[in-house]
Amino acid sequence: MCGIVGYVGKKDGVDILLDGLSSLEYRGYDSAGIMTLNNTRGNNELEGISICKTKGRVDNLAKNAKQMGIVGNVGIGHTRWATHGEPSDVNSHPHLDSTNTIGVVHNGIIENYLDLKDSLLKKGYHFLSQTDTEVIPNLIKDYCNQTGDFVDATIKATAELKGSYALAVVDKDNPDEMIVTKKDSPLVIGEGEGEFFIASDIPALLKHTNKVYILEDNEFAKITPDNIVFFDEAKKRIEKKYKEIDWSAEAAQKGGYEDFMLKEIFEQPTAIRKTIGNRLDKDNLIAELGITPEYIKSIEKIYIVACGTAMNAGLSGRKIIEKLLKIPTEVDIASEFRYREPLITEKTLVITISQSGETADTLAALRLAKKSNAKTLTITNTIGSTISREADFVMYTQAGPEIAVASTKAYNTQLVAMYCLAIAFAKALNLDYNDLDKELESISNKIEIALQKVDNIKDIAKQMYNAHDMFFLGRGNDFPVAQEGSLKLKEISYIHSEAYAAGELKHGPIALIEKDTFVVCIVTDNTLLDKSLSNIQEVKTRGAKVVLITDQKVDKKYYDYLIEVPQCSSIISPMLTVVPAQLLAYYIAKDKELDVDKPRNLAKSVTVE
C-alpha cells in the first residue's frame, strides 16, 4: 500500500511530485506529503528542506503546497494508506530524522521497528509520529554519523530492517542526490533528459518518459540529475538497462469518462482482444510460456491462488481447466493457502493471478510453491512486478493500466487468460476444446453489445441504491460471477451483499430474504435453467425483487428487472455477465454520490499481509 514518488532534476519538481501522487492515489489516500531539497523555497524554517504534509487527499496537499510556495529540484512524495498510526499530519510521510537532515518516504511495513526505535531512543534520537517509518531516517542518520557517507549509511541501515520497503531517501548534506532501494515493495525509475523520476508504478511515470528501470529486491540506485548508478548491498556496481514501456500516457488518463472505473469497464472488449492476441494460433501460447507438452502431461494437480477479484477469476479458471484438461484443480485464497500446509509436490502446478503482481499474500503463496518444488505460473498485468520475476512461467494480461481501485478490466483479462491457457494446454495434449477458441474470438463483440444496454442498467440502479442488503445468486459457471458482482457492489457502494450458489440459499440464508430484498440472479447455463428458475421462484415467493442477468429466454414471472446479454457458451459467459454486474455496482455507487474510483478503506495494491 502507499504510493511513493521522487524527482531529481534541474527544474522545479513540485508539480511533478504532486501529479505523480495523484496518479498513485489509488494505492492509498489517507494523507499525503512532499519534501524538497536543492534550490528550495517555501517553509525554510528547516534550513534547506521544505516539507508539506497533510491528512486527506492529494488535492489538499497540492493546495497547501501552493500556498506555501514550495519549490525544489530534488524531492520526494508519498500518499498513504495508514498501517502504523492514524491518518494525521504528523504521521504523514516524508519523515525526517531528529536532526532534520535525512528525509524518507516508505511503502511497506518495518516489522522490527519497535526494537529499532528502542535502541535509537537510548542513543538520544526522538520521534514525532507513531509510524514504523520514522526509524528509517534516524537509523540512516545514525550510520551517517558513524561512516560519514550517505550511501554507506543507507546500505547499513536497510540491512537492519525486517519487513518490506520501497524507499526514497534524501540528505540535506547531499542536496542534489537521492538514494532509492526496495525489498518486497515495488519501485521503478524513469529516465528523462537530465532528470529522473521515481514512482511505485509505471503509469505514474508515463507522462514524462517510457524508459523505465525496474529495481530488484536489495538493489540500490544513487541518482543525480545527470547520472544513475546501481549497486548491491556490498556496493558492487550492477549494470542495468531500462525497459521501453509501450503503454501510452493517455491510457492512464480518464479520456472523457467521468471516472476511471467507467472507462475501464468500457475498455474491456479491447483489453480482451489484446490479451488473446495471437495466443490461440498454433502453439503460440505454449511457446511464449516456454512450456512443453511433456510437462503439461506430468501435472497431477493444479492450485490457483490469488486474492479478491483475482481469486474470483480463478474460480472460473478452475471450471474450464477441469472441463477441458481433467486435471484436479483447487482454488485458494492466498492468505489461507500460505498457512494451511497445502499438499504440493513437484507434479503440482501453482497458478497465481495478480493484477499488480505485488500482492503480499499471493507472492508468499508463490514462494511457498517454489520452496515445495512445484512449478509456478503467474497471470499478471504488471511487467517487471515481483511475482512476474519470481514465477517460472509468466502470462501477461494486456489490460493496460488499471487505475480505479475496483478491478474490472483486469478481472476480465484474467478470465480470458485462464481460458486461453486451458485451450492451449488442451491443444498441446490433443484434447477436445469444443471450438471454445472461436467462442473466445467473438466474446469482445458480445461485450460491446452488452455495454450498449447501459441506460437500462442505470434505470435499474436508481431503484436499488437505497437498499441495505442484497444477494447475488448463480449456479455452476454463474456462481463465480455472483461472487464477483457482490464484491464489486460492496467495495464501491458500501451496501452489504452476499453471494450464494443458488441451490445453497435454502440451507440457511433464505431466512434473510424479506419483502423487497434485491436479489441479482445470473443465469446462463441452459442445462441448469430449470433448477435456477426454481431457486428464483423460492426468493420471489418470499417477496424478493429479482434482477435477472441472462442470455436465456425467461418468462416475465421470474423477474422484476431484466438485463439481457447476447447468447454465449456458459463456460466463458462470466466474461459477459460480469459486465452488467460491474455497471450495476457503478451506477448504484454514483446514485449514492460516492467516490467510485477511491472507495473508503481500500487500496489497490495490497503489499502488506
Q: What residue ranges bind ligand F6R (CB under 6 A)?
A: 307-310, 354-356, 359, 362, 406-407, 491, 605-606
Distance CA 411, CA 481 (A): 11
In the complex, minimum distance from the CB of residue 590 to ligand F6R, in angstroms, rounded to a whole number: 17
Given the complex with ligand F6R, which of 406 and 502 has the nearer CB atom?
406
Amino acid symbol at 86: E
Taking the chain, what is the end-to-end CA distance rounded to the nearest angstrom? 10
Given the complex with ligand F6R, which of 134 and 264 has the nearer CB atom?
264
Instruction: Tell me which of 53, 55, 182, 604 is the catalytic residue.
Output: 604
Given the complex with ligand F6R, which of 27 and 427 has the nearer CB atom?
27
Are the C-beta atoms of residues 280 and 440 closer than 8 Å to each other?
yes
Closest to 304 (Cα-Cα) out of 355, 353, 363, 346: 353
In the complex, minimum distance from the CB of residue 27 to ligand F6R, in angstroms, rounded to a whole number: 11
Given the complex with ligand F6R, which of 31 and 355 has the nearer CB atom?
355
In the complex, minimum distance from the CB of residue 363 to ligand F6R, in angstroms, rounded to a whole number: 9
Instruction: Tell me which of 2, 144, 420, 521 is the catalytic residue.
Output: 2
Distance CA 368, CA 390 (A): 12
Question: DSSP string spanning 139-170?
Answer: HHHHHHHHHS-HHHHHHHHHHT--EEEEEEEE
In the complex, minimum distance from the CB of residue 190 to ligand F6R, in angstroms, rounded to a whole number: 21
Given the complex with ligand F6R, which of 275 and 362 has the nearer CB atom?
362
Residues near 41 by beta carbon (within 8 Å), at least 6 away in sequence: 50, 69, 70, 71, 72
Given the complex with ligand F6R, which of 91 and 385 has the nearer CB atom?
385
Distance CA 183, CA 482 (A): 37
With cell 472488449, the residue in question is 269
Neighbours of 609 (CB within 10 A): 12
Residues near 478 by beta carbon (within 8 Å), at least 6 away in sequence: 502, 522, 523, 524, 525, 532, 570, 573, 574, 577
Are the C-beta atoms of residues 432 and 411 closer than 8 Å to each other?
no
Given the complex with ligand F6R, which of 195 and 491 has the nearer CB atom?
491
In the complex, minimum distance from the CB of residue 393 to ligand F6R, in angstroms, rounded to a whole number: 17
604 is catalytic: yes
Question: DSSP string spanning 201-216?
Answer: SGGGGTTT-SEEEEPP
In order of 12, 103, 215, 345, the CA distances from 227 in angstroms are 18, 21, 16, 47
545 is catalytic: no
In the complex, minimum distance from the CB of residue 331 to ligand F6R, in angstroms, rounded to a whole number: 14
Given the complex with ligand F6R, which of 8 and 403 has the nearer CB atom?
403
Given the complex with ligand F6R, which of 359 and 497 has the nearer CB atom?
359
Strand order, beta sheet including 163-171: 95-96, 102-110, 163-171, 174-183, 220-224, 227-231, 237-238
Grid cell locating 190: 524513469
In the complex, minimum distance from the CB of residue 367 to ligand F6R, in angstroms, rounded to a whole number: 15
HSE toward the beta carbon, residue 444, CA cutoff 13 A: 17
Which helix (H) or strand (E) segment is 389 a member of? helix 386-390
Closest to 201 (Cα-Cα) out of 251, 275, 158: 251
Are the C-beta atoms of residues 10 and 193 closer than 8 Å to each other?
no
Closest to 385 (Cα-Cα) out of 604, 170, 103: 604
In the complex, minimum distance from the CB of residue 385 to ligand F6R, in angstroms, rounded to a whole number: 9
Provide the β-strand partners of residue 522.
Answer: 474, 549
Residues near 66 by beta carbon (within 8 Å), at least 6 away in sequence: none
Are the C-beta atoms of residues 403 and 23 closer than 8 Å to each other?
yes
In the complex, minimum distance from the CB of residue 236 to ligand F6R, in angstroms, rounded to a whole number: 33
With cell 450495476, the residue in question is 584
Grid cell locating 299: 501435472
Residues near 149 by beta carbon (within 8 Å), at least 6 away in sequence: none
Given the complex with ligand F6R, which of 35 and 306 has the nearer CB atom?
306
Given the complex with ligand F6R, which of 399 and 536 has the nearer CB atom?
399
In the complex, minimum distance from the CB of residue 53 to ligand F6R, in angstroms, rounded to a whole number: 27
Catalytic site positions: 2, 604
